[in-house]
Amino acid sequence: SAQTFPITLGGTPSTTALTRLEESYMLDFVRNVLQRRLLEALRFELGSIYTVGAAVNFSISDPFRNEPTQGGKGLLTIELSCRPGQQTSIHSRVAEEMRKLCSEGPTPQEVANTIQAHRREHETALRRNSFWVSSLSRGYTAARYRGDIQYTYLETLKMRRHLYKTVDANKMKRSFAKFVGNLSRSSTVVLLPQQKGILGWLTLGGIGVVGASLTTMLLYRRKLK
Residues 131 and 218 in one domain: no
- Based on the domain organization, do 24 and 68 belong to the same domain? yes
Q: Considering its fold, how many domains does the chain have in total?
A: 2
pLDDT number for residue 201:
43
pTM of the model: 0.82
Instruction: Check whether residue 151 and residue 223 sit in a common domain.
Output: no
Q: What is the 3-state secondary structure (H, E, C) of 93-158?
A: HHHHHHHHHHHCCCCHHHHHHHHHHHHHHHHHHCCCHHHHHHHHHHHHHCCCCCCCHHHHHHHHHH
Asked whether residue 208 falls in the same domain as residue 127, the answer is no
CATH number at residue 12: 3.30.830.10
Q: Is the model's pLDDT at 109 over the cut of 90? A: yes
pLDDT over threshold 70, residue 151: yes
Cα 54–Cα 57–Cα 58 angle in degrees, nearest 5:
155
- Work out the pLDDT band at 60, boundaries 50, 70, 90: confident
**Higher pLDDT pick, 13 / 85:** 13
Q: Do 130 and 73 lie in a common domain?
A: yes
Residue 164 pLDDT level (bands cut at 50, 70, 90): very high
- Cα gap 38→80, rounded to integer Å: 10
Q: Are residues 89 and 175 in the same domain?
A: yes
Q: Are residues 149 and 205 in the same domain?
A: no
Domain of 209, in residue numbers: 197-225
Whether residues 66 and 157 share a domain: the answer is yes
pLDDT mean across residues, the chain: 85
Q: Are residues 74 and 149 in the same domain?
A: yes
Is there a single domain that holds both residue 48 and residue 146? yes
In terms of DSSP H, where are the helices of the chain?
17-38, 87-103, 108-125, 129-141, 149-166, 169-180, 195-224
71 and 158 in a single domain? The answer is: yes
Q: Within this chain, do residues 68 and 128 fall inside the same structural domain, yes or no?
A: yes
